Amino acid sequence: MEIFSNLLLGFQVALTPFNLLMCLVGVLLGTLIGVLPGVGPVATIAMLLPITFNLNPIGALIMLAGIYYGAQYGGSTTAILVNLPGESSSVVTCLDGYQMARQGRAGPALATAALGSFFAGCVATLVVAMFAPPLAEVALKFGPAEYFSLMVLGLVAAVVLAHGSLLKAIAMVILGLLLGLVGTDVNSGVLRFAFNISELADGIGFVTVAMGMFGLAEIITNLEHTETREVFTSKVKHLWPTKEDWKRLWGPVLRGTFLGSALGILPGGGALLASFGAYTLEKKVSKYSHEFGKGAIEGVAAPESANNAGAQTSFIPLLTLGIPSNAVMALMIGAMMIQGIAPGPQVMTERKELFWGMIASMWVGNLMLVVLNLPLIGMWIKLLTVPYRILYPSILVFMAIGVYSLSNNPFDVFLMSIFGLLGYVCVKLECEPAPMILGFILGPLMEENLRRAMLLSRGDPMTFIQKPISAGFIIASVILLVIIALPALRKKREEVFVEE
């Protein structure tokens, strides 16, 4: 079995003391920046690149990869504890994770996130090891038409994220799509809705919107309630998931891992959809769907597993084709090139020790992360007992520094404040931000792919149906739409009958 000899080679590389150290440094640093809102892996890896020039290539890449998936672990911590999604993947973790924290169940939420991520990471690493080349071929089958149809499915699914009015949720998705269009139009290069503000030329940053709509709005709303001074219940029930929790956990973790591994392969934004998709799926299949948005443990388990699985499998297009699936992967390409390694198909054959060493290190890194994170839970929970009047200015400082550092420009902080205001108004009007954020992320991708597909097909919309993968997504979207709309319609009809 070649795979075993390859994995053996990988572990020999990954387990050398130096590479172990690099891996540890990477995951520690990743966890730290993941926990700090706003400062993301992209900025950190970029700043560390020059330091890696003098390391050996394998050690350097192992460390950088560690920062990437370490940040995914750390990011969920902040999402759960203080409702701050630092990464697009942790937006959905906020929905139920933060509610669990407010109910004194931060411990189980964090443990679920860590264990779910670990399981997903292990499985996804195995997937990368066994199927990387054939899966890369699958990724290449996705062109503009397929991506557009996938985005449509994602948007329909976004509506499920809301637990209130369906109509308002759809409107919020559209609003998100529109806000995502601000900036330079990819196809024509025209600046849209930028009001001659050059800072808006590259569009509105995700972190800025998420910090404003979730973080700032949450702090302002919390400060309003004059009678309840503490935001979190002081009674922390337990640190670990209960027996009941365990029973509810494993299904979502399995499904999340599967969905995340599959979507992570797609370089054009597939991984973005992983956590959203997993959450939607659970909300539809779960017996406890009425608890979603109010602290359902499935709502943490599924998206966390999905996003970590996706983080691992998103290395597939990088390692096999040299195509980066996100900004972090683009940086890894930069790091490889600086080291004199041409990222591309030859890495797997010509630099076996690098390819397999990295895969093995991902597993080692995931193990380190879970060992590291579980004991930390106790400390995080202590943090919630800090009085809110101390906690919120500290959160504000970290948010402001993080957002400012995005492009060293006060404008981003200004924009965050605007979105804080919008988020606050939305809270008052019961318009939920999560569907909007998904629309915001997908909007530009969707338009870009739609227009590109139309250009390539010379204006024939049948292209979306003639291509089998694309057609599959369109059909799935229609089915999902019916599933979502039917209960709502039925409810309306019942109400009408009652009134009569």
Structure tokens at 12: 């020999």
Report, in Å, the least distance between residue 310 CB and other proteins.
18
Of residues 87-126, which lie at the interface with other proteins (CB under 8 A)? none
Q: Can you tell me the distance from the alpha carbon of 96 to that of 109, in angstroms, rounded to the nearest whole number?
A: 9
Q: Which residue's CB is nearer to other proteins, number 44 or number 366? A: 44
Of residues 50-69, which lie at the interface with other proteins (CB under 8 A)? 50, 53
Among the listed residues 70, 317, 433, 435, the single contact to other proteins using CB under 8 A: 317
Q: Can you tell me the distance from the alpha carbon of 90 to that of 132, in angstroms, rounded to the nearest whole number?
A: 26
303 close to 85: Cβ distance less than 8 angstroms: no
Q: Which residue's CB is nearer to other proteins, number 126 or number 338? A: 338
Angle (deg, nearest 10), helices 166-180 and 468-499 = 140
213 close to 423: Cβ distance less than 8 angstroms: yes
Site for other proteins contains 352 (CB under 8 A):
no
Dihedral class, residue 240 (left if φ above 0, else alpha if ψ from -120 to 50, else beta): beta
Among the listed residues 61, 175, 259, 262, the single contact to other proteins using CB under 8 A: 175
Give the angle 311-315-317 at the CA atoms, nearest 5°: 125
Binding map of other proteins across residues 438-477, x = CB under 8 A, - = no contact? ---------xx-xxx-xxx-xx-x----------------
List beta partners, residue 183: 192
Give the number of residues in contact with other proteins, rule: CB under 8 A.
111
Of residues 192-251, which lie at the interface with other proteins (CB under 8 A)? 192-193, 198-199, 201-202, 216, 219-220, 223-224, 226, 229
Site for other proteins contains 141 (CB under 8 A):
yes
Q: Of the ranges 13-21, 180-188, 240-248, 352-360, which one interacts with other proteins (CB under 8 A)?
A: 180-188
Say how far residue 142 (Cα) sits from the centre of its chain: 21
Q: Which residue's CB is nearer to other proteins, number 7 or number 43? A: 43
Q: Which residue's CB is nearer to other proteins, number 226 or number 234? A: 226
List beta partners, residue 184: 191
Q: Which residue's CB is nearer to other proteins, number 221 or number 233? A: 221
Site for other proteins contains 138 (CB under 8 A):
no
DSSP 8-state symbol, 211:
I
Site for other proteins contains 342 (CB under 8 A):
yes
Q: Of the ranges 124-132, 167-175, 305-313, 364-372, which one interacts with other proteins (CB under 8 A)?
A: 167-175
Task: Provide, for the chain, the percentages of residues in helix, strand and coil under a 3-state DSSP scheme, each rounded to the nearest 5.
Answer: 75, 0, 20
Q: What DSSP element (H or E) covers 55?
A: none
Site for other proteins contains 26 (CB under 8 A):
no
**Based on the number of CB atoms within 10 Å of its own CB, is 325 exposed (0-12), middle (13-18) or buried (19 or more)?**
buried
Q: What DSSP element (H or E) covers 192?
A: strand 191-192
Among candidate residues 275, 307, 263, 277, the one with its CA nearest the CA of residue 138: 263
213 close to 220: Cβ distance less than 8 angstroms: no
Structure tokens at 64: 């950088």
Query: Which residues, including other chains, have CB under 8 Å from residue 73's CB and lie 6 or more apart?
Result: 27, 30, 31, 34, 113, 114, 117, 308, 369, 373
Of residues 379-438, which lie at the interface with other proteins (CB under 8 A)? 388-390, 392-394, 396-397, 399-401, 404-405, 407-414, 416-417, 420-421, 424-425, 428-431
Q: Which residue's CB is nearer to other proteins, number 308 or number 326? A: 326
Q: Of the ranges 1-9, 82-90, 93-101, 331-339, which one interacts with other proteins (CB under 8 A)?
A: 331-339
Q: Which residue's CB is nearer to other proteins, number 126 or number 383? A: 383
Q: Which residue's CB is nearer to other proteins, number 256 or number 423? A: 423
Site for other proteins contains 185 (CB under 8 A):
yes
Site for other proteins contains 374 (CB under 8 A):
no
Report, in Å, the least distance between residue 431 CB and other proteins.
6
Q: Which residue's CB is nearer to other proteins, number 302 or number 311? A: 311
Report, in Å, the least distance between residue 20 CB and other proteins.
22
